[in-house]
Structure 1
């Protein structure tokens, strides 16, 4: 671990979330188990994670050459077309996946089970990373996801789900805290925030990292914008 990256210890009910950029977050548990979402070759966390989740929409969401120190590499797809169904426990962290479909970028069709939503349970929190979501969620998918406290949301409105569709997903999930990602530019981020401003409170954070627990979740659903790219 680099000497410059020595975060303060977490209480047993806390989780540290750091927005690395694009769709990559570093999630750290009280026992410092580290999960990196949409781990790839371009946007990387400052430490090698214990668990890396990936989706295959574009090369900025996965790598086929992960660092050897990663203990669990979880692809959000399977080469045989069946749904990825991860259910992994490492230390005090539990990670599971819910399969979703993806656009076929070459033929314009749909690849069933081509991506996954990853749910990370750590501390007292349940965190859902929506990945490169291309469609609204079915009742079965919502049931498989279950109750979540924090949702990491792609808000570009074009490469992933359109703005109205993403709002429908968020209203179905009913998470107290939502954090935007995958927005490319301030214009794209502001376009999404303008769409949800009448529905949710919005807060702009000064740093890309926060410590959160069940006790510190907002009383009313809120968007927290972490600086990133």
Structure 2
């Protein structure tokens, strides 16, 4: 089988997945796009599959109406389908989760349609311990595993329903990354560790702010008693 694939990514951890797609024996051609504009410049009807990796923007009907599209989502619970899933899970104290392939083909009449996470196929375990560089390295490896398994099985893909929840964790805003001294006083050391480690580079760093200025925390280390 000769597949023509588009790979859409822009973060470095996700770009590191690209060579594994290029080398897959079913893939005869693989085009890398780093922006939505580059994607729209292609004749999508000439390709078999769009693979997105670490992509947080909406694709829109102008894309999903022309090509089968998949992505990866790094959360098991549906409450984290609304944005910033890594940060929210770590802040909530989650250390074990799932990395899943999801389909951008969804029922537009569903109230959950905008999450795009109604159907998933392949999944692997995900560990949220360690610093952000450790977590992003793991996302690279697990994304390779997931996409390789998907391509191995394609086109015989078994889709499963993503379990829905009534709980919603809205995406974090930039202002949520700044703590006051009063906020710090209310948090224990493990909560502070989780807060600052999920905002290490390449994300905008967490900070503590008072009337004198703003202290940015680029990297943290924690030892449990």
Q: Does the TM-score normalized on the shorter chain lie above 0.5? A: no
Instruction: Give the TM-score normalised by the residue count of structure 1.
Output: 0.30
Bigger Rg over Cα = 2
Greater fraction strand: 1
Instruction: Give the TM-score normalised by the residue count of structure 2.
Output: 0.31
